[in-house]
Every structure is written in structure tokens, then in C-alpha cells.
């Protein structure tokens, strides 16, 4: 097995796929808990055209699985599920409070 750690700049821009291999978007950035140091979310860039009008979808980090064959992350979601998920415009990122986090995690059925 290769190196078990990765730099955040290598994660940013990585493609995210649905389980059937369809491209959902790419990781814009990671949201890290300041106290624990754990990655809490990957902000998935999705929608728009040629990078214009894209929204950011915070996905609980635990939902992403790296697939070496795809050279990207896979999430157990389809595009229509993602379209209903919490999101924000890049210029208006939310305040990542515990309340916001619980709402995001609840949406995906992930334990906070």
C-alpha cells in the first residue's frame, strides 16, 4: 500500500463519482475541525457550466471512498440525491457551526 496520508492540495480538484461511475463533480476544498484536526467535510463543486454558477455541497468526509481505478472519490449518491442536498455559493460559504453540521449529516443519514 502507498503512503497513508495526502496533502490537502492534492485532494482539492479530485473528481468525485457516483457508485455507477458517473462524474458528480470535484472537491473544491476540505473543511477541518479546528479542535480535533479531523476533516469534517469535503466541499464538492457541482453544477454550473465550465466552472461558472457552480455550488458547493458539503459532504461528510466519512462518505467518501477513494477508488484507485477511477483515481477519484466515490460517494454513495446519485446526481438527483445531490441536487436536494444542502449547498452554498462559493462566495457565500456558511458558518460551519455544530447546528449546521448536524443538519448536513442528518441529510445524508450520517451520525454527527
Band of residue 9 on the pLDDT scale cut at 50, 70, 90: very high
Mean pLDDT, range 6-29, rounded to an integer: 93
- Residue 57 C-alpha cell reads as 455541497
Residue 48 has pLDDT above 70, yes or no: no
Give the CATH H-level superfamily of domain 8-106: PRC-barrel domain (2.30.30.240)
If you ran DSSP here, which 8-state letter would residue 69 be given? T
**How far from 62 is each of 70, 73, 107, CA to CA, in Å?**
18, 11, 14
* Pairing assessment for the beta strands 72-74 and 65-67 based on DSSP bridges: antiparallel
Q: 49-96: per-residue pLDDT in tens?
A: 555 568 999 999 999 999 999 999 999 998 888 888 999 988 888 999
Give the max Cα distance, the chain.
Answer: 39
Q: Are strands 55-60 and 39-46 parallel, antiparallel or unpaired?
A: antiparallel
On the question of pLDDT at 29 being above 80, the answer is: yes
Domain extent listing, the chain: 8-106
Amino acid at each position: 500500500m502507498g503512503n497513508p496520508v495526502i496533502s490537502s492540495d492534492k485532494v482539492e480538484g479530485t473528481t468525485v463519482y457516483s457508485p455507477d461511475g458517473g462524474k458528480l463533480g470535484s472537491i473544491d476544498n476540505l473543511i477541518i475541525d479546528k479542535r480535533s484536526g479531523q476533516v469534517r467535510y469535503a466541499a464538492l463543486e457541482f453544477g454550473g457550466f465550465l466552472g461558472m454558477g457552480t455550488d458547493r455541497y458539503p459532504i461528510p468526509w466519512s462518505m467518501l471512498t477513494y477508488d484507485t481505478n477511477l483515481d477519484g472519490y466515490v460517494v454513495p449518491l446519485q446526481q438527483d440525491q445531490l441536487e436536494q442536498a444542502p449547498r452554498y455559493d462559493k462566495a457565500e460559504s456558511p458558518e460551519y457551526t455544530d447546528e449546521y453540521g448536524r443538519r448536513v449529516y442528518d441529510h445524508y443519514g450520517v451520525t454527527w
